[in-house]
Copies of this chain bind each other. A is one copy, B any other.
Amino acid sequence: MTEDAVVSPFRPVRHEHDACIDDALDAADALCAKQGVRLTTLRRRVLELVWGSHGPMGAYDILDRLREERMRDEKKGAAPPTVYRALDFLLSNGLIHRIESLNAYVGCGAPSDGHAGQFLICGDCGSVGELDDPDITKMIASKAEAMGFAVTHQTIEATGLCPECARRGAKNEN
């Protein structure tokens, strides 16, 4: 029996992140077209900002970026609802996820179905890897079911050290 190659949910420290963002935006365009929903300029820009890093971004971080841009264009600033509405849209269309333990948002690495995502959060560098492991989902659902509980949504977040930071940490422990 052959095993699927295990692909790390963490990107290499230096990768072509512009391409990474472009891919995410292209996927979003396609998905929204298919769903018949409108990825407006604002929503697309917010998604782009969220994808600015592979780390979680707070709503007010996004807001600050938007304000900067608009100020540069001599336009008025923006207010919290502008950002939260865009985030709501992106969330409900599965283009981003919310990290509950950080009150922050990350781009979804596999925006297709309405999955929940499972997150590995590095306490050192802040990067977040997304897992979507059906074994975990199933095990939790079945353990809950054994208690008579019917699960509709799972929040799975693990904090720790990402491969990169673990390696760096080991190095500095000489």
Can you name the residue of chain B whose Cβ is closest to the Cβ of A153? B159
- A73 interfacial by beta-carbon distance below 8 Å: no
Query: B residues within 8 A CB of A147?
Result: 6, 8-10, 120, 129, 131, 163
Cβ proximity bits A144-155 to B, threshold 8 Å, 1 near / 0 not: 101111111111
Question: Which interface residue of A100, A150, A159, A162 has the most chain B CB atoms within 10 A?
Answer: A150
- A31 interfacial by beta-carbon distance below 8 Å: no
Contact of A152 among B123, B139, B149, B154 (CB under 8 A): B123
A55→B143 CA distance, assembly (Å)? 20
Cβ proximity bits A114-136 to B, threshold 8 Å, 1 near / 0 not: 00001010110000010101011
* Given A136-B140, A155-B156, A158-B140: A148 touches B163 (CB 8 Å cut-off): yes
Residue contact A131 to B143, C-beta cutoff 8 Å: yes
- A157 interfacial by beta-carbon distance below 8 Å: yes
CB distance from A169 to the nearest CB of B (A): 9
